[in-house]
Amino acid sequence: MTIENLSSNKSFGGWHKQYQHESKSLNCNMQFAIYLPPQATQSTPVPVIYWLSGLTCTDENFMQKAGAQRIAAELGIAIVAPDTSPRGDDVANDDSYDLGQGAGFYINATQNPWGKHYQMYDYINDELPKLIKETFPVTDKWAISGHSMGGHGALMMALRNPQKYSSVSAFSPIVNPVNCPWGEKAFTAYLGDDKADWREYDSTELLRKSSVEIPTLIDQGLSDNFLAEQLKPQNFVTLATDKAFPLTYREHEGYDHSYYFISSFIEDHLKFHKENLK
């Protein structure tokens, strides 16, 4: 598989790099970014955190706005930031910001016209980690984190694959997509009308029937415009409490949905993952 380096920037002694490659699962060219801390050499591979971004994002939002490089360099952790959907002129799209390109929801679409390219679950869970492992000095220890739609993606991926991820964290996640307008719109388009199919990608529903214990951290801003209608963290938190699931849930007065919030607490998330990646 060929991958092309698009940019390289030295940062805190390590490197931020962007790459383009041809994705088999998505049937198009994809771009991703990786931060390699200074500790990462062929003889000393480092653990890796996958970061899944939210609606409208590319690989760039997190790397440019979260301010994660300093602490990743200190902790010796690589961070991979994929794009949020397949891309390209021949890839199905929609005029709205919450469907189509920029809004892949990390699921495998079954419906036309989406199924041909929108296979983000396979891309994130399988194809991209294989490529990362073949190309960069990373270990088999993975954690996963994300924001909003990406928080949904991170929790859902970890609950479906507890053997792969040593920990999961999320900022302002959509915890129950089958019960909110963003999720209902995307899942109807990508998966069709059968709600049994939707539940396979819903973190709250997955937690309900799960007996796994995966260390989980969720941060939520209380001035987040999307909190009541779209995010509904209590649906997940109540269930986690009932099941004694290892969740730390924190609410933060005054913080909104933006990267100003994420950059305020990203250090805690990286340290939380570092502890569990040991």
Ligand X SMILES: N[C@@H](CCC(=O)N[C@@H](CS)C(=O)NCC(=O)O)C(=O)O
Which residues make up the interface to ligand X (CB under 6 A)?
54-57, 61, 65, 97, 147-149, 257-259
Please, which residue, 56 or 110, has the CB nearer to ligand X? Answer: 56
148 is catalytic: yes
Write down the catalytic residue from 148, 166, 167, 203: 148
Other Cβ atoms less than 10 A from the Cβ of 98: the count is: 17
Q: In degrees, to the nearest 5, what angle opens at C-alpha 221 toward C-alphas 261 and 263?
A: 15
- What HEC string does 113-137 produce? CCCCCCEHHHHHHHHHHHHHHHHCC
Q: How many residues does the chain have?
A: 278
98 is catalytic: no
> Reading across the β-sheet that carries 247-252, which strands appear in turn?
3-11, 14-23, 28-36, 78-82, 46-52, 138-147, 165-171, 216-221, 247-252
Please, which residue, 172 or 276, has the CB nearer to ligand X? Answer: 172
223: tokens are 């001035």
Q: Decide: helix, strand or coil at residue 78.
A: strand
| Residue nearest to ligand X as judged by C-beta position | 54
Please, which residue, 37 or 54, has the CB nearer to ligand X? Answer: 54
The beta-strand segments (E) located in 110-261 are 138-147, 165-171, 216-221, 247-252
Please, which residue, 37 or 102, has the CB nearer to ligand X? Answer: 102
DSSP bridge partners of 14: 11
DSSP bridge partners of 147: 171
Please, which residue, 148 or 235, has the CB nearer to ligand X? Answer: 148
Phi-psi region of 263 (alpha: psi -120 to 50; beta: other; left: phi over 0): alpha
Write down the catalytic residue from 147, 257, 269, 273: 257
Write down the catalytic residue from 152, 224, 269, 273: 224
Q: What are the residue numbers of the active site?
A: 148, 224, 257
